[in-house]
Structure 1
Amino acid sequence: MSTLIAAENLGHAYHDEWLFKNLTLGIQTGQRVALVGINGAGKSTLLKLLAERFSPLEGKIVKNKFVKIGFLDQEPSFPDGYSISDFIFSLENKQQQLIREYEELIEDPNPDEQKLNRLYEELSEHNAWEYEHEIKTILSRMGINHLQQQISTLSGGQKKRLALAKLLIEDPEIYVLDEPTNHLDIDTIEWLEKLLTSGNKTILLVTHDRYFLDNVCNTIVELDRGKIYNYNGNYAYFLEKKSEREAADESTFQKNKNLLKKELEWMRRMPAARTTKSQSRIDSFYDLESKTKQRTDNKTVTLNVKMSRQGNKILELDHIGQSFTDKNVISDFSYTFKHGDRIGLAGKNGTGKSTLLNIITGYLKPEKGIVGKGETTVYGYYKQGGLAFNEKERVIDIVKSDAEYIKMADGQTISASQLLTLFLFPPKKQHGMVEKLSGGEKKRLHLMKVLMQNPNFLILDEPTNDLDIDTLNVLEEFLENFPGVLILVSHDRYLLDKMSEQLFIMEGNGDVQIYNGNYSEYRISLDVAKDKPATKVVKADTISSAPAPVKLTYKEQKELDDSEQAIASFESEIAALTNGLSEIDPVNYQQIQDQTLKIQTIQQHLDKTMERWLELSEKAGSTT
């Protein structure tokens, strides 16, 4: 493999603070590299330097001048006055210009037939029909349909998808992607995974999505306190080796700490004679002091804020209905929330997820139905768009505007400054301006403000966007122990699988289906149903307080009959997958792991179906 791009002795500072110095990194043909590290470590800056968006303060970027780099910024910018069509189609590309003219013409309700015939001939002459289909597929997947629309009218998420579409159409030699899965629904993420792993693409990306990272990348590069660590393997391998490295670092740190204490005593003795001391030993002291101080900055976020008491009545949705400009978003949805509900809200972009959340929290009054909120219910609503911070305000003043003191889960009361420190905002950042925070740090500040409200009904709308993986791990630990109601909207399949026990699925036609299980189980049930038309995907009914009937209803009898077929299908699927394990090359660990995970997930689905079958069988037997 040849090196396509390399960073040599790279150094760069931001707001007078060095992010890294003497950093060296090479990306080879066919490598798909994930760059990981905590928020503020300099990941986005490193991507921009490698994409040649600006020059480093120290060192250089080396690449062949003919190598084309495609860069997806976390927050893309666009030329003023451009339409989607202006941005997407390159003036230098004859095929793209023909496709542009054709696509714009067929959008016209009364297209010029002569122009259409001419374009048909030219597209055929330039062998552009396959390319046209490819471009149309990419635009459709990204939800881009109206080429004449002005970019200035698009939302932030639409702009990110537009920038990604442009990059995929250009198909550069090197893909440099900063959070490519933000603002994509899960179906589109899975499609993007297949696209990026086809061919021999060279990729460098930053992502918080661990399933995406595992499915796309074959190398992980960690940026930690200005240094680079390379791991040739998947995310699980990275975690294992990182843990080993940190254990070694901890041992070295303790030795350095003990040595520093001795050297400090030496430095303090006989200050008047300091000029006679060994200069090399003095230099070594300051070097050791710098290393030890740097090591102590590496802490973890702690989330343990207090939860408000929750009464018996939490929230009741009674025959909710909502539509916008003749589009039916929610038809007739009812649900009574229970203690400990952990619900994942799933559906494609534009199916009404945010509408349902706004109805639940009272930001939107539904056209039909009743929302009955319990007196003790306290919402904590982390919105996808984030908070509109005053960039010129100090970080600590943002927190103090809510409360000077905050009560923690253990009953302890701490100051706003102490809470910020727990959330990895040291005093220097606390008294600095919001504009100096990275995108991920702003999201962490937003999350902290939400948790400060001591909610017992927590709604997280895409909480993973721009958060580093370390913070996500801590968030997951907090959510696992959170005793209140949780509603989670996320394109992060790992988080949905781990945190949700039930799904509200927005179908896009006004229907909201309720499914008992996590996202992977739901997808497998759809695959099984697709492969076996006779198999029914079992979905849970809306919770009802009505007493159970004394015999099987028609619906229950049909469910009992269908579950027998479903059980047979699941067992057959497990047997086939188990037999297939012996055919996989033993060194192909990733394929074995994926196959095993699929077997385990189907087995869980089988167990649930068996439980329901037994329940219905016993009930049917008791009435005979």
Structure 2
Amino acid sequence: MSQIQVSNLTFAYEGTYDNIFENVHFQIDTDWKLGFTGRNGRGKTTFLRLLLGELEYSGTISASVEFEYFPFEVEHKEYLTIDVIEEVHPEYLHWKLVRELNWLKISEDVLYRPFETLSNGEQTKVLLATLFIKENRFLLIDEPTNHLDLHARQLVADYLGRKSGYILVSHDRAFLDRCVDHILSINKTNIEIQKGSFSTWWENKQRQDQFELAQNEKLKRDVQRLSESSRRTSGWSHEVESTKNGTRNSGSKVDKGYIGHKAAKMMKRSKAIEQRQQSAIEEKSKLLKNIESAESLQIAPLHYHKERLAELDHVSIYYDGHQVSEDVSFEIERGERVALSGANGSGKSSFMKLICGEDISYSGGFQKDTQLQISYVSQDTSHLQGDLSDYAKSHGIDESLFKSILRKLDFSRLQFEKDMATYSGGQKKKVLIARSLSERAHLYVWDEPLNFVDVNSRMQIEELLLEYKPTLLFVEHDSEFVHNVATKVVELSHCATP
């Protein structure tokens, strides 16, 4: 066991004036299974890049291990998978690789298929297996669950549970609980590390937040009392000074020199007292330093005049001439929150696009009212660029409402001035969600809306959906979210045929 030491770490991106990290200190044992959490834009991926030496910083990061980042870009996806592996790890031992693949329930046959023909889940598992057979490596695993179906997530979680020596960035609560033994959290004002699962850390944070809230009430009263006292103190010298031009009660003329001297002494004394009181006010005003804002979100869905919004009767979906899903039947009733579930490639996104009116090849019966208004959130965020105000205008939504929702999802006002292309993956997803929440619709269709989105925001969105009960069709692989939100789950089976 060795340690990774971080001392006096300070970093800001060139051209910005807000530090992402400032004088940060902590240490990590290299045999930990470390879960990394924090709200979007706090610097999780940036910190991984700092460990990799990709960015310049002040301070020191020292380690006796080499770092490997996952996921990395495969340059030649057309190569056979075994050739891709050899490019990543030329000195690999075949028996070790096969052992890792067996643990991940991957057949050795995939090694002799072009890498690009593997599913997202298979690609993730193959590359993880390759990295874990490298010696003396500390893995930086960045959001491995995105686009993985529930079954693949469970397999990868069980696999990581066997391993040690990694930092895992994930916002999937159940996934983290299955495979970490420490949590590193980037808070508003500091970075802290706790031993235990994500759930243990979350419970501890809730208790700490409650303690801080109770302290907040006490300190607010103290601040109010000190502020009132400070105002009284600052008034003393002014009262004495005002008597210079007045008269004594006896009617005799006042001694202006004496009064002026007294006023000066009183002014000096009152200023000293006021400064002490102001310092106390500032100290006591440093309240709720790490409580995350989680204001309630709002949505205003349109009322649909019929009970049933859409119906699919024995529908089969075809993609590139192949049948990907067969004989699917379900209805979307008013107020339902329908989750589509199934392995990657089973046609989930295609069914959503069909309902949204895109040109999808299908057979069977499909009915949807032409007056049905739909708000769609896609998986893809690559098109987001430019100014938030222009984006709101181009989609015909209220800019103030749109930005208010983003503020509640932990956007700073500084983010409003930036090009959307510079946003983190989670921030881009929040833009799509905020736009959808700003739209008036009968049906909300969300395709993997939570990819990259932080845990706090996931919980805010859960609470919104449970409170307002909009009609929703969605795909999401976060099992906690699906369990809490869905009123109905439609299981799709993969049946691709040549």
Larger deviation, residues 494-503 vs 133-142:
133-142
Q: Name which of 225, 230, 242 aligns with 2:188.
A: 225
| Deviation at residue 420 of structure 1 after TM alignment | 3.8
Which structure 2 residues correspond to residues 350-389 of structure 1 after superposition, within 5 A? 350-386=345-381, 388-389=383-384
* Equivalent-residue separation in structure 2 for 1:138 and 1:283 (angstroms): 62
Residue aligning to 2:70 = 72
| Deviation at residue 470 of structure 1 after TM alignment | 0.2
Residue aligning to 1:237 = 200
Residue aligning to 1:341 = 336
Q: What do residues 318-376 of structure 1 show as CA deviations (whole Å, max 9, x unaligned)?
A: 34233234421233333332233332212221122111211122112434234211255
For structure 1, the 5+ residue unaligned runs are 97-127, 407-413, 512-624
Q: What do residues 22-68 of structure 1 show as CA deviations (whole Å, max 9, x unaligned)?
A: 222222243211121111222222222234433433x211211xx23
Residue aligning to 1:26 = 27
Q: Name which of 294, 304, 307 aligns with 1:300.
A: 294
* Equivalent-residue separation in structure 1 for 2:17 and 2:118 (angstroms): 35
Q: What do residues 301-322 of structure 1 show as CA deviations (whole Å, max 9, x unaligned)?
A: 4321201111224112234233
* Equivalent-residue separation in structure 1 for 2:207 and 2:330 (angstroms): 47
Q: Name which of 447, 450, 455 aligns with 2:433.
A: 447
Q: What do residues 224-247 of structure 1 show as CA deviations (whole Å, max 9, x unaligned)?
A: 113123332223322221112112
User: Conserved in 2, the CA contact under 8 Å of 1:309 and 1:376?
Assistant: no
1:461 matches 2:447: yes
| Deviation at residue 143 of structure 1 after TM alignment | 12
Residue aligning to 2:483 = 497
Which structure 2 residues correspond to residues 476-487 of structure 1 after superposition, within 5 A? 476-487=462-473
| Deviation at residue 481 of structure 1 after TM alignment | 2.7
Residue aligning to 1:394 = 387
Q: Provide the secondary structure at the position in 1 that maps to 2:95.
A: helix
| Deviation at residue 133 of structure 1 after TM alignment | 2.2
Residue aligning to 2:155 = 191
* Equivalent-residue separation in structure 2 for 1:148 and 1:286 (angstroms): 68
RMSD (Å) for aligned C-alpha atoms: 4.0
Larger deviation, residues 136-145 vs 85-94:
136-145
Which structure 2 residues correspond to residues 80-91 of structure 1 after superposition, within 5 A? 83=79, 87-90=84-87
Residue aligning to 2:139 = 175
Inter-CA distance 325–43: structure 2 relative to 1 (3 Å threshold): closer
Higher relative contact order (CA 8 A, sep 6+): 2
* Equivalent-residue separation in structure 2 for 1:360 and 1:434 (angstroms): 28
Residue aligning to 1:12 = 11
User: Conserved in 2, the CA contact under 8 Å of 1:7 and 1:50?
Assistant: no
Q: What do residues 568-622 of structure 1 show as CA deviations (whole Å, max 9, x unaligned)?
A: xxxxxxxxxxxxxxxxxxxxxxxxxxxxxxxxxxxxxxxxxxxxxxxxxxxxxxx
| Deviation at residue 475 of structure 1 after TM alignment | 0.9
User: Conserved in 1, the CA contact under 8 Å of 2:315 and 2:329?
Assistant: yes
Q: Provide the secondary structure at the position in 1 that maps to 2:203.
A: helix
Q: Provide the secondary structure at the position in 1 that maps to 2:453.
A: coil
Give the partner amino acid of 2:154: E
Q: Provide the secondary structure at the position in 2 that maps to 1:307.
A: coil
User: Conserved in 1, the CA contact under 8 Å of 2:295 and 2:408?
Assistant: yes
* Equivalent-residue separation in structure 2 for 1:405 and 1:132 (angstroms): 54
* Equivalent-residue separation in structure 2 for 1:380 and 1:389 (angstroms): 17
Larger deviation, residues 16-25 vs 162-171:
162-171
* Equivalent-residue separation in structure 2 for 1:155 and 1:462 (angstroms): 17
Q: What do residues 95-117 of structure 1 show as CA deviations (whole Å, max 9, x unaligned)?
A: x4xxxxxxxxxxxxxxxxxxxxx
Which structure 2 residues correspond to residues 121-200 of structure 1 after superposition, within 5 A? 128-134=93-99, 141=106, 145=110, 164=128, 166-170=130-134, 173-199=137-163
User: Conserved in 2, the CA contact under 8 Å of 1:383 and 1:461?
Assistant: yes
| Deviation at residue 468 of structure 1 after TM alignment | 0.5
* Equivalent-residue separation in structure 2 for 1:439 and 1:488 (angstroms): 19
* Equivalent-residue separation in structure 2 for 1:268 and 1:383 (angstroms): 59
Q: Provide the secondary structure at the position in 1 that maps to 2:333.
A: coil
Q: Provide the secondary structure at the position in 1 that maps to 2:159.
A: helix
* Equivalent-residue separation in structure 1 for 2:398 and 2:88 (angstroms): 59
* Equivalent-residue separation in structure 1 for 2:112 and 2:413 (angstroms): 49
Residue aligning to 1:202 = 165
* Equivalent-residue separation in structure 2 for 1:315 and 1:138 (angstroms): 42
* Equivalent-residue separation in structure 2 for 1:490 and 1:72 (angstroms): 22
User: Conserved in 2, the CA contact under 8 Å of 1:5 and 1:61?
Assistant: yes
Q: Provide the secondary structure at the position in 2 that maps to 1:18.
A: coil
Residue aligning to 1:62 = 62
User: Conserved in 1, the CA contact under 8 Å of 2:219 and 2:285?
Assistant: no
* Equivalent-residue separation in structure 1 for 2:316 and 2:196 (angstroms): 48
* Equivalent-residue separation in structure 2 for 1:448 and 1:6 (angstroms): 39
* Equivalent-residue separation in structure 2 for 1:159 and 1:510 (angstroms): 18
User: Conserved in 1, the CA contact under 8 Å of 2:401 and 2:438?
Assistant: no
User: Conserved in 2, the CA contact under 8 Å of 1:387 and 1:446?
Assistant: no
Q: Provide the secondary structure at the position in 1 that maps to 2:19.
A: strand
* Equivalent-residue separation in structure 1 for 2:188 and 2:54 (angstroms): 23
Q: Provide the secondary structure at the position in 2 that maps to 1:170.
A: coil
Q: Provide the secondary structure at the position in 1 that maps to 2:361.
A: coil
* Equivalent-residue separation in structure 2 for 1:436 and 1:286 (angstroms): 38
Q: Name which of 419, 423, 432 aligns with 1:433.
A: 419
* Equivalent-residue separation in structure 2 for 1:42 and 1:10 (angstroms): 13
Q: What do residues 116-147 of structure 1 show as CA deviations (whole Å, max 9, x unaligned)?
A: xxxxxxxxxxxx55235246658984999477
For structure 2, the 5+ residue unaligned runs are 239-263
Inter-CA distance 129–93: structure 2 relative to 1 (3 Å threshold): closer
* Equivalent-residue separation in structure 2 for 1:209 and 1:142 (angstroms): 27
Q: How many residues matched?
A: 461
Inter-CA distance 497–420: structure 2 relative to 1 (3 Å threshold): closer
* Equivalent-residue separation in structure 2 for 1:311 and 1:304 (angstroms): 22
Q: What do residues 458-487 of structure 1 show as CA deviations (whole Å, max 9, x unaligned)?
A: 222212211000000111111223433322
User: Conserved in 1, the CA contact under 8 Å of 2:106 and 2:122?
Assistant: no
Larger deviation, residues 355-364 vs 43-52:
43-52
Inter-CA distance 56–301: structure 2 relative to 1 (3 Å threshold): farther
* Equivalent-residue separation in structure 2 for 1:495 and 1:297 (angstroms): 22
Give the partner amino acid of 1:89: E
Residue aligning to 1:323 = 318
* Equivalent-residue separation in structure 2 for 1:68 and 1:157 (angstroms): 26
Which structure 2 residues correspond to residues 569-584 of structure 1 after superposition, within 5 A? none
Inter-CA distance 138–354: structure 2 relative to 1 (3 Å threshold): farther
* Equivalent-residue separation in structure 1 for 2:281 and 2:129 (angstroms): 51
* Equivalent-residue separation in structure 2 for 1:427 and 1:315 (angstroms): 40
Inter-CA distance 142–23: structure 2 relative to 1 (3 Å threshold): farther
Give the partner amino acid of 2:298: N
